[in-house]
Amino acid sequence: MSSDIFFITRSEINKVLISNIDRYSKAEIIASANRLNTLAMIKNAGSGHIGTSLSAMDIFVWLKFFEIKTLKKDLKKFNRNIFFSSKGHDVPALYSILYFLGIINFEKICKLRRVGGLDGHPDISIPGIEANTGSLGMGISKAKGILWAKKYLKQKGKVFVVTGDGEFQEGQIYESLQTVSHQKLNDIVVIIDHNKIQSSQYVKKIIDLGNLEKKIKTFGWHVERCNGHDFKKLSKVFKKFSKIKNKPKLLIADTVKGKGISFMEHPKVMKKQKQYTWHAGAPNNKNFYAAQKELIKKLKLNYKDNGLAPPKFVNINNKWESKKSKSLEIH
């Protein structure tokens, strides 16, 4: 029944953020909570892109909560860091994060892909969305334009953009890599969500990208590679990036499409069948409840292991959380 769709609220995550547990444990809990809310949003909407939202989630969480830290009060600051995802169909993950950051109301995330709610792809009319995306291959070009404008207007701040790996079959990507380096727009950071699945098939079967690391370096970029689900490794890479001033930076983040819900993770799926079946669309009731149960169980265990009181969940059809939520704190 649709009445059994559960979310975790901002107040529960705020308890995690102000706690004394280490930031990697915080990130793990926040990512699990966002996976639950993303699943709920897509099920409630009846459509959406769950596999790519889950693969990018840990990257989004680390950047938005622990690197960029842009809160609602910061959105009008010209000298802020800018973040957006070029592969706009992963926006349910970003909406969930914007809710936890106090930028989007709970009522909005309950209206994904509905009139008066949130669009299925990013639109700058929505608070916290920095660029309209969805047409693949254009993200680095947009980041280039944003950073060029910042420099022209003498504004500070970096531009972070997440791309898909399938986007690297687009010619515009390579034009933008070339011009960013040539124009010395060194405050651009690109993160490739390298989940190796393009829509429902392996990227290498559609167009093999070859040695991405070597290819991108030839354009004058500094390139790193790490597990995109390992918060300690992500932290290490971004710390290294902060010290590199003479080149634009790119991280190839090796990820798993459907990460966090065991039966949606692409290695398991692709062993059983020829196509990845969790790219788009809402799961049926049986699969939804199995996924929800798995995520709730993991969240409860995460809270317990870190000495926190058990989290509370909100049924979508119950009275929604008050708009007057306490302001978010990040430690």
- Which domains does the chain possess? 2-315 (3.40.50.970)
Cβ atoms of 258 and 294 within 8 Å: the answer is: no
Residue 74's pLDDT is: 83
Residue 85's pLDDT is: 95
pLDDT 10s per residue in the chain (331 long)?
Answer: 456 899 999 999 999 999 999 999 999 999 999 999 999 999 999 999 999 999 999 999 999 999 998 878 888 889 999 999 999 899 999 999 999 999 999 888 888 998 888 988 989 999 999 999 988 989 999 999 999 999 999 999 999 999 999 999 999 999 999 999 999 999 999 999 999 999 999 999 999 999 999 999 999 999 999 999 999 999 999 999 999 999 999 999 999 999 999 999 998 888 888 899 989 999 999 999 999 999 999 999 999 999 999 999 998 876 444 343 343 444 3
Residue 3's pLDDT is: 63
User: Per residue in 112-131, is it b (16+ CB within 10 Å) or e — as a string?
Assistant: bbeeebbbbbbeeebebbbb
Residue 107's pLDDT is: 86
Q: In 77-206, which ranges are E strands? A: 82-85, 159-164, 188-194, 197-198, 201-202
Quote the CA–CA distance of 182 and 324 in Å, as a whole number: 48
Residue 59's pLDDT is: 98
Question: In Å, what is the CA distance from 232 to each residue of 59, 238, 307?
Answer: 12, 10, 21
Give the DSSP H/E element, type plus range, for residue 17: helix 10-17
- The two tokens of residue 23 are 């930031």
Question: In Å, what is the CA distance from 283 to each residue of 25, 229, 286?
Answer: 29, 23, 8
Count of positions (residues) in the chain: 331
Residue 313 has a CB neighbour count (10 Å cut-off) of 19
pTM: 0.93
Q: In 108-265, which ranges are E strands? A: 159-164, 188-194, 197-198, 201-202, 222-227, 249-254
Residue 326's pLDDT is: 42
Quote the CA–CA distance of 96 and 224 in Å, as a whole number: 28
Quote the CA–CA distance of 255 and 272 in Å, as a whole number: 19
Cβ atoms of 222 and 186 within 8 Å: the answer is: no
Strand partners, 201: 198
Residue 302's pLDDT is: 95
Provide the total of helices (H) and of strands (E) in the chain, helices listed first: 12, 9
Residue 115's pLDDT is: 87
Residue 29's pLDDT is: 97
